Amino acid sequence: MFAISRSLRLSRCLSAFGRGLSASSSPGPRTLVAIDFDRTIVEQDSYLAVSQLLPTSQRKELQDQIPKCGWLSFISRVLQRLHGEHKVNSASVGKRVRSLTAVPGMLRVVRRLARMPELELCIVSDANSFFIGEWLEAYAIECLFAGGVFTNPACVQASGEVLVLPYQEQTDCDLCPSNMCKGSVMEELTCSGRYERVIYVGDSCNDLCAMKRLRQMDVACVRRGFELHGKMTAHGQELACSVLTWRDGHELEELLMPKIVASSLW
């Protein structure tokens, strides 16, 4: 029903923020800083946060289906029920997303990174363009992600319901859901020739897929205490890049900045 080309999905996603991959015009080698959204920029999972607008019984019913149906199906059903049964429109959904708190220190480090001319920031997330766009706009930082926002495209229908579509349809990657392989996104970016080095910041297993595409000169930043950190003992040897772990944005800034400015690495 919603067959849509990958290029159109990508263009919808990026156009929501008024820019695409060609936005940067700075000459010379660039470093890309790719950042996940849920539990990396914001403290909560945005899909679970929006689902809290439903009555508890309905929310639990839909959450129980996540292992079988996946997160994209989960949020689609949440949004359908919110609109169809509870008359919750996109404005109310957006208000809930904008209320999410940032990971402590993350706004500071993002703003600091964005001021460095040799860096370009992007978001790689399995959330969606409506949620991410609402939150970035609330904090007036949408302009900082000049490298783009790679996520599931979403739009507000005439009825006021939010519709989320898959970023892609893939069956090759077991680490990622069928609607988005973060590894394929990172492979395209690293092979584009636009970036000399890549820093990737994330917390979950599909971020592991992205980090496995990084090279020896790149850096993976794994959030401690979350899903991916617990799997690093088993999977850390699969990464060619250097790895640092962080608890919040303050620690990330403290650990990452020396790697960016050190002439021996950069």
What CATH code is carried by the domain that includes residue 250? Answer: 3.40.50.1000
Report if residue 8 sits inside a domain.
no
Query: CA 12 to CA 9: how far, in whole Å?
Result: 5
Q: Are strands 162-164 and 154-156 parallel, antiparallel or unpaired?
A: antiparallel
Does 172 count as an annotated binding residue?
no
Taking 90 as the threshold, does the pLDDT of residue 74 lie above it? yes
Taking 70 as the threshold, does the pLDDT of residue 266 lie above it? no
Query: CA 201 to CA 61: how far, in whole Å?
Result: 32
Rounded mean pLDDT, 244-262: 93
Rounded mean pLDDT, 92-96: 98
Q: Are strands 149-152 and 119-128 parallel, antiparallel or unpaired?
A: parallel
Q: Looking at the structure, do residues 256 and 200 belong to the same domain, yes or no? A: yes
CA distances from 241 to 35, 87, 216 (A): 16, 48, 4
Report if residue 157 sits inside a domain.
no
Map the chain to HEC letters: CCCCCHHHHHHHHHHCCCCCHHHCCCCCCCEEEEECCECCCECCCHHHHHHCCCCHHHHHHHHCCHHHHCHHHHHHHHHHHHHHHHCCCHHHHHHHHHCCCECCCHHHHHHHHHCCCCEEEEEEEEEEHHHHHHHHHHCCCHHHCCCCEEEECEEECCCCCEEECCCCCCCCCCCCCCCCCHHHHHHHHHCCCCCCEEEEEECCHHHHHHHCCCCCCCEEEEECCCHHHHHHHHHHHHCCCEEEEECCHHHHHHHHHHHHHCCCCC
Report if residue 17 sits inside a domain.
no
Q: Looking at the structure, do residues 105 and 172 belong to the same domain, yes or no? A: yes
Average pLDDT, the chain: 88
Domain boundary among 75, 98, 121: 98
Domain boundary among 61, 82, 98: 98
Q: Looking at the structure, do residues 131 and 212 belong to the same domain, yes or no? A: yes
Report if residue 20 sits inside a domain.
no
Q: Looking at the structure, do residues 248 and 198 belong to the same domain, yes or no? A: yes
Report if residue 10 sits inside a domain.
no
Rounded mean pLDDT, 63-78: 96
Predicted local confidence at residue 19, as pLDDT: 36
Report if residue 119 sits inside a domain.
yes
Q: Looking at the structure, do residues 214 and 125 belong to the same domain, yes or no? A: yes
Domain boundary among 83, 98, 113: 98
Q: Which domain holds residue 81?
A: 48-98
Q: Looking at the structure, do residues 178 and 54 belong to the same domain, yes or no? A: no
Report if residue 113 sits inside a domain.
yes
Residue 229 — very low, low, confident or very high, per pLDDT cuts 50/70/90? confident
Report if residue 234 sits inside a domain.
yes
Query: CA 259 to CA 81: how far, in whole Å?
Result: 47
Handedness of CA 203, 209, 212, 215 (dihedral sign): negative
Taking 60 as the threshold, does the pLDDT of residue 161 lie above it? yes
Q: How many CB atoms lie within 10 A of CB 50?
A: 24
Q: Looking at the structure, do residues 89 and 183 belong to the same domain, yes or no? A: no
Residues acting as catalytic residues: 36, 38
Rounded mean pLDDT, 60-70: 96
Q: Looking at the structure, do residues 172 and 87 belong to the same domain, yes or no? A: no
Does 203 count as an annotated binding residue?
yes
Does 207 count as an annotated binding residue?
no
Rg of the chain, C-alpha, whole Å: 18
Rounded mean pLDDT, 170-175: 90
Predicted local confidence at residue 206, as pLDDT: 87
Q: Looking at the structure, do residues 136 and 63 belong to the same domain, yes or no? A: no
Taking 80 as the threshold, does the pLDDT of residue 64 lie above it? yes
Question: What is the residue whose two structure tokens read 């999977």?
Answer: 235
Q: Looking at the structure, do residues 90 and 117 belong to the same domain, yes or no? A: no
Q: Looking at the structure, do residues 56 and 127 belong to the same domain, yes or no? A: no
Percentage above 70 pLDDT, the chain? 88
How many structural domains does the chain have?
2
Q: Looking at the structure, do residues 182 and 74 belong to the same domain, yes or no? A: no
